[in-house]
Structure 1
Amino acid sequence: MHNLSLLSAAEKNRIELDKQAAYAVWQLKNGKAGPEVFLNQAQSISDDDERAFYEKAVEKYKNQMGIV
């Protein structure tokens, strides 16, 4: 078990980005949003490394949820 409060701000942000990616893929899979949800979220991320992390997480969850 990990104490998430001990993580750095950057690590906490990556966890949040991963959760946002999972939720966006879930929305697409369940017809709650269209593919623009990924573009809109990615455009709101100003840091290039964080945006790349989000996009990689989206691909991970698409694969896990069987979305091509």
Structure 2
Amino acid sequence: MHNLTLLSQAEKNRIELDKQAAYVVWQIKNAKRGYEAIAEVSNNIEDDDEREFFDNAVTKYKTKMGVA
């Protein structure tokens, strides 16, 4: 068990981005949103490293959830 409050802000941001990636792929899988949702979220991330992390997380979750 980890105390998330002890993480740095950057680590907390990555956890949040990972959650957002999982959620947007889940929404696509369940026909709640279209694929443009990925671009909408990604385009709102200002930091290049964070955007790349999000995009990689989306790829991970698309594979896990069987979304093409």
Band the TM-score falls in, shorter-chain normalisation: over 0.9
| Shift, 1:6, TM fit | 0.1
Q: Return structure 1 stretches of 4+ with deviation > 4 angstroms.
A: none
Alignment partner, residue 52 of structure 1: 52
What TM-score do the two structures reach when normalised by structure 1?
A: 0.99
What fraction of aligned residue pairs are identical, expressed as a percent? 63
Alignment partner, residue 20 of structure 2: 20
Aligned mates of 2:8, 2:49 — CA distance in 1: 16
In the alignment, structure 1 segments of 5+ residues that lack a partner are none
SS at match of 1:2: coil
Alignment partner, residue 31 of structure 2: 31
What TM-score do the two structures reach when normalised by structure 2?
A: 0.99
SS at match of 2:67: coil
How many residue pairs match? The answer is 68
